[in-house]
Each structure stands twice: as structure tokens, then as C-alpha cells.
Structure 1
Amino acid sequence: MDQGSKMVGKRYLTPEQLLGFENYKYSAQDTSPLSNYVMHPFWNTVVKICPRWVAPNVLTFVGFLFTVANFVLLALYDYHYYASSDLPPGDLYLPIPSWVWIACAFNHFMAHTLDGIDGKQARRTGTSGPLGELFDHGLDSWTTFFIPACIWSVFGRVDYSISPLRFYFVLWNVILCFYTSHWEKYLTKILFLPWGYDVSQVLIFAIYLVTGICGQHIWKFEIVGGVSSGVMFEFMMYAGSLATSLPMSFWNIYKSYRDQTGKMLGVTEALRPLLTPLVFFVLATAWVLYSPSDIINSDPRMFLYMVGTIFANINCRLIVSQMSCTQCELLNWLLAPLTVCVMVVMLLPSLEMAALLCMSAVATVAHIHYGVCVVQHMCEHFHIRCFTIKDRAE
């Protein structure tokens, strides 16, 4: 074992999973017109600017950091999501400066672009492999929280918008759609890329840019029937998943069983990956609904961060199982401390904020540790490095 492995310590990957990664072949379908006729031609041009010595995983990681930068920046200027609101208590908070929205637009554009060219850089340099896909989708699991948590600042939480509780369910809608797409691949062996992804990324970039140029008040309007802009945004989020993403996932799963092209797992094994997110949803929602201090309103950012981080770990473990063609774990261990926190909150209400901070810290450290260990173990097994490459393309 090398020095890096000694520093990391924990080995999360089993010999069976490593063997599965050795035999893994990437299989995906992308039928989106926007993706095929606009985004990919653009990315094919951009990737030629990138030096060949830059590792694809560097592009992936830097893109992720751009998204995190948006979350940190907006947390500094709008921690409680009141800065875009005019009604009390939003009138007590300074509005977010225009340059912050321009910076968010730039960061989001860079994150989307780097996420689009990392795979192309890998194929361009002949360094494609399971580590790159795992690294990419693993960081996407966390990004799935950061992006909606940032865009909510555009609308705020009071006038012309939705409450923190309603946004909590919007977030669950987003992360469950992401999880379902990987559960779909777990069963079908094919990653069907949803049409809505690139559309949503372009729209979010446009929203940031328009907000930076015109100001946050441009989103203070109502449409037919008195429906506000924030409610319209909420409706679009649900419509995108319930009308397109989820039905297509279930249809693709059905077809894989009908045509016998997937893994053909029995009902119990097929539904096994759904137990952890179901228990997680029940625990987190019980905390929200029975919170002594109304935690979703008193500190929505921290609570949503905790939910997004635990979800990222759950989703990463599903991706590992899906790519290595091994059985998914039954329950994620982070549900145990979460259960303890919920019990502490109910029995000792004065400790609620401390419990939230502790659970957020535990989830963050555990998830980062898991990611670092898995990447290190795969690098050791395949005799490669994560952030440096040898150009093998002719």
C-alpha cells in the first residue's frame, strides 16, 4: 500500500466491485436536440482550446468548484434567502449586488461547459475509463443540490415566491429525479440522458444574466390567475420531472424487462435501491414537519445543505454499485446518526440547531472521506492518477 492509501485508510470498494469496474463499459443515450445540435458542437470546439496535458478529472473538479463558489457567494449575501424580498422581514436585508449575479452567470456557464468537455477531453487524450465517469457523476450528485439551492435566491422566500417548506419539496423533486436516472441505469445498464438537463442549465444561465443586468425586481410579476413568478418556477420544476423525466425512466425500465435487455433483476432486488431514499425522505420530512423551532424556516440553507449532502453520498454509492454491476447496499449508514438527531430534537428541543450543525458536519466529512477513499482505491487498482495523465491518443 502506498503512502496515499495509508493516509486515506478506509477501503470502501470490495474486490467484487473492483472486478466489476474492470469489466465496465460506458453506455449512454442522448437524444436531446439541444444537446446534439447546439451543446455538443459548441463543446467540440471548446475542447480543442484545452491543452492536451490537462486531465479530464481536473476539468470535472474545477467545474464543480465553480458551482460551489456560487453557493458560497450567495450564502454570504443571502444566507436566509430574504435579500430578494421586499416584504418584511425582507425589507431589512440589503439586495444582492448586480455583480454577484453576473459572477453567478459566469460560474454557472463555466461549470456547465467544463462538465460538457471533460468526457471529450478523455476521449481526445485516450484516457477514458471508469474512474472518470464515477468522478463526474459522483460530483454531479452533490451539484444536484447546489444548483437549485442557488437559483432560489433569485426569487427569495416572501413576495412572488414560495415558502422554504415548498422549496424543500422542490429540492426533493430534483434530487429524486437524479437518483431515478441512476436507478434506471442500475436496472437497464444504459444511462438515458434527460432532455431537460441542458435546457435547465441554459435557462439558469439566462436567469442569472438577466438578473444581473435588470435587477431582481424583474422577477416580481404575476401571470394569469394571480400565479407568481416563484410559483411558476415551482410548477416548471415539477412539470419537468412528472411529465418527462420520471415517465421516461419508468418506460425505459419497462422496455428493458419487456425486451430482456437489462439486468432482469427480480422485484425485491430491483426495488432494493429505493429503500434508503425512502427512509431518508421520511426521517428528513418528519424533522421538518415536527421541528420545535420550525427549522426549515429558521435556517433553511443549512437544513437543505444537510439533505443535499446526505443524498449525494447515497447516490454515489448507487453509482458505484451500478457501474460495478454489484448489489446495491440496503441502507446507508448516515441514516443512523440522522435518526438519532431526529430523536434528540424531539426530546430536547433546545439542542435542535446543535443537532443540525453536527449532522451537517458528519455528513460532509463522511461524504468527502468516502469520495477521496474510493478515488484513491481506484487509482491504486488501475495504476493511474486522478489529476494527471499521460496522453495516449495518436
Structure 2
Amino acid sequence: MILRNSCYLPNKNSEAAKSMSGHRNIKRRCGESHLESPAGCGHGPAAGCVLSKLVQLPTPPLSKHQLKRLEEHKYQSAGRSLLEPLMQGYWEWLVGRVPSWIAPNLITIIGLLINIFTTLLLVYYCPTATEQAPPWAYIACACGLFIYQSLDAIDGKQARRTNSSTPLGELFDHGCDSLSTVFVVLGTCIAVQLGTNPDWMFFCCFAGTFMFYCAHWQTYVSGTLRFGIFDVTESMLCTIAIQLLTGTLGPWFWNYTVKRTLMLPGKQWHGLSRDSTFVMHIVTGI
């Protein structure tokens, strides 16, 4: 009996071992299947999948032909604006004070961030573009615009000065300019309280972006960036002046009612006109 029982013991142990190994194989296969399908592995992989979709670019990357065109691109400009010769001396002096180890793209991004920050101050105080912000907020926005305009003018000079001028750097510069255009127009609309007329506000925002697009579309077609008599430098200085006037006189200045006298033969008509856009009506006489 002892021998028979001893003979059967290995069989029982072998069956138990087979069942245990079977359970281990099933668990191993289940683990492998979970690794192969991230959606069923809990919240971690699923969250990673969602995050990868969020950071995915809305447009496909540049093709080989586009990369080649970008590498062969050379910056060319034509024409001069009215105030550019006067500002060139200041820009040359400013770029001479910048250390040579500072990258041109760093200059560009610093100017953009300053412009965005000072404009967001106005957005914080005037969320509907109908409120009145503290005077220092308008003056800070004017200073931010001047700093941005100065740094945007010297980043290319810094690139040529340090022999680091590349087509990709120009693309980065103009990309920051396109983003800054939105904040420049928005800050101007807030300064003149154009939120009281949403249609005009939309038109001004659309016009600023559309003009920037047309200028670069012309550059894309002709290969040359052309400047007019009244161009970016003049428009930026006018925007700075608007912010300074709003900070010193108040937003009501742009809604000021001016008495206008119209002289006709034998008659004199007096009227009131209200201008809620950028410039007051001028007292006229015919």
C-alpha cells in the first residue's frame, strides 16, 4: 500500500504542476494582450493617447520640396518707409549694446512675450473693450509695443552680426510677427473702447490680419518683401501714440463730441458729430 501510494503521488504532483503552469501561461498571455492594446490598460496609456492627439500639429510637416525651398530662400527687401531712415540710427545703436552671445531668436521671443503680457493687462481690465483701465496699463502697453518694435527691428541685425542668419530664423521671426499682429490690433481696439461697436472691432481685427497676410503672400509670389511710404514702423508708432494718448487723456478722448459748423450761402448750420473710431472729427468750415 505504501508503494502504491508512493507511485500515485508523482502523478498527483504532476497534475497540480500542470494546472499551475497553465494558470501562469494564461496570466502571461493576458498581460501581453494588455500591453498590445493600450486602450485596455487602465487610464495611463489612454491618457497618453489623448495627449498625443492634443499635441499633434494641425498641419502636416514640410515636404522635402518645401524644405529645399526654405533652405534656398534668401531675404530680399525693396523700398523704404517714411520714418525708417530716422529709426535706423537708433536700431544700430541698440544692436551694438546687445551681447554677441544672445541668439537672434531669443531677441524675437522676448519682444513677443513682452507685447503679449502688456496687452493681456488691458484685456484683464477691459474684457469687453468697453471698460476703462488704469492709466498705467495703457502706458505699459505703449512701452511694451515700443520694446517689441525695437527688438523686432534688431533681431535680423543681430543675426547678420553674429553670422547666424538662416531662412528658418526669418520664418520664426515672421511667425512671431503674425501672432503679435493679433495682440497689437486687440490692444488698440481696447484703448479706443471699440467694444461699443463690435462690427467695427471685428473689421479692424480682420483688416490687420488680412494686410499682414497680403504682404507675405506678395513676398511669396515675388520673392521680395516690399515696403511702402507708410508701413510697419509708422503704424506701430501710431499705435504707441494712441496708447499714450489714452493713458494721459483717458479713453473718453476717442468718443469726444466735436462741434462742427457748416457754412452755406446765407445760412449757418451747427451740428454735433460723434466719432467712435480712431480719430476725432476735425472742426471744418466751408
Task: Give TM-score, length-normalised by structure 1.
Answer: 0.51
Alignment of 1:1-394 (within 5 A): 12-35=61-84, 37-83=85-131, 95-157=132-194, 163-194=197-228, 195-223=230-258, 224=260, 226-233=272-279
Cα distance in 1, alignment partners of residues 201 and 280 from structure 2 = 8
Q: Tell me which structure has the larger Cα radius of gyration.
A: 2
Cα distance in 2, alignment partners of residues 70 and 128 from structure 1 = 29
**Contact 2:146/2:240 (8 A) holds in 1:** yes
State the AA in 2 paired with 1:73: L
Cα distance, 1:229 vs structure 2? 4.2
- After superposition, the C-alpha distances for 1:122-149 in whole angstroms (9 at most, x for unaligned) are 1111111101110111111111211111
Cα distance in 2, alignment partners of residues 227 and 64 from structure 1 = 38
Call closer, same or farther: CA 1:111–1:228 in 2, change over 3 Å: farther
Cα distance in 1, alignment partners of residues 178 and 92 from structure 2 = 25
Tell me which residue corresponds to 1:264.
Answer: none
Cα distance, 1:213 vs structure 2? 2.4
Call closer, same or farther: CA 1:153–1:137 in 2, change over 3 Å: same
Cα distance in 1, alignment partners of residues 245 and 234 from structure 2 = 16
Task: Give TM-score, length-normalised by structure 2.
Answer: 0.69
Cα distance, 1:233 vs structure 2? 4.4
Cα distance in 1, alignment partners of residues 107 and 227 from structure 2 = 20
Call closer, same or farther: CA 1:189–1:99 in 2, change over 3 Å: same
**Contact 1:56/1:122 (8 A) holds in 2:** yes
**Contact 1:170/1:234 (8 A) holds in 2:** no
Percent identity for Structure 1 against Structure 2: 34
Cα distance, 1:99 vs structure 2? 1.2
Aligned length: 213
Tell me which residue corresponds to 1:322.
Answer: none
Alpha-carbon RMSD across the aligned residues, in angstroms, is: 2.3
Cα distance in 1, alignment partners of residues 139 and 79 from structure 2 = 30
Cα distance in 1, alignment partners of residues 113 and 181 from structure 2 = 13
The answer to which structure has the higher strand fraction is 2
Unaligned runs of 5+ in 1: 1-7, 84-94, 236-394
Cα distance, 1:107 vs structure 2? 0.7
Cα distance in 1, alignment partners of residues 106 and 273 from structure 2 = 43
